[in-house]
Structure 1
């Protein structure tokens, strides 16, 4: 199992319908198979995520956030890890809003 505790990730791409800004960062915390993070930046005033990690390092995630317009947004995400040649982790994410337009998107995060 990949241990995500203390790892910092930054987005390198995101679908147009997403709210994550490419200058944001996520510091992951992990206890046993539970991963969490609090985040903010870009269009997001404050957000939180919680996920279960499986033996292959996949994350089954739920997130909620408040944007600068004062709207609460929620979604689900499935992250698939890739260990890059430098030993850092790249996460390929497929996500879906569970509110609003219920649209889907993809993003890529890299460990810093």
Structure 2
């Protein structure tokens, strides 16, 4: 289901997301992502599971697309940083979904694909 470009702010701002699929990454079932959107700028935090604390910064790149840089400290005290390009969507239940292709820039190698779904309030 597609969403109009004017709703990326509405779909992400002050909303929380959990991991739906991230087999190659560190975030998992216990990780919660919280986003803020100001104009076309995006910021966020994440923690839980293997992530002690994480931060994100990015921008809106299209009607349904965003790109982010992220960094985190893991529960094993690793310092990691990476990039991601994502698509904002809506599932059949009306919850916002995020689908990313991502890769590591520092602290690890490789990358993958991941999917997140909005946590219903």
Is 1:57 matched up with 2:64? Answer: yes
Structure 1 runs, 4 residues or longer, greater than 6 Å off: none
Task: Give, in whole Å, the separation in 1 of the partners of 2:19 and 2:61.
Answer: 22
* Structure 2 spans left out of the alignment, 5+ residues: none
Moved more, 83-92 or 63-72: 83-92
3-state SS of paired residue (1:98): strand
The Cα RMSD (Å) is 1.4
Tell me which residue corresponds to 1:73.
80
Deviations 1:58-93 (A, max 9, x none): 111000001112111000001112222332211111
Q: Structure 1 residue 101: deviation in Å?
A: 4.1
Task: Give, in whole Å, the separation in 2 of the partners of 1:91 and 1:23.
Answer: 17
2:111 to 96, 99, 104: 104
* Count of paired positions: 111
Task: Give, in whole Å, the separation in 1 of the partners of 2:85 and 2:62.
Answer: 14
Q: Structure 1 residue 15: deviation in Å?
A: 2.2
Is 1:94 matched up with 2:77? Answer: no
Tell me which residue corresponds to 1:13.
21
User: Contact 2:55–2:71 at 8 Å: present in 1 too?
Assistant: yes
Task: Give, in whole Å, the separation in 2 of the partners of 1:91 and 1:65.
Answer: 19
Give 1 or 2: higher helix fraction. 2
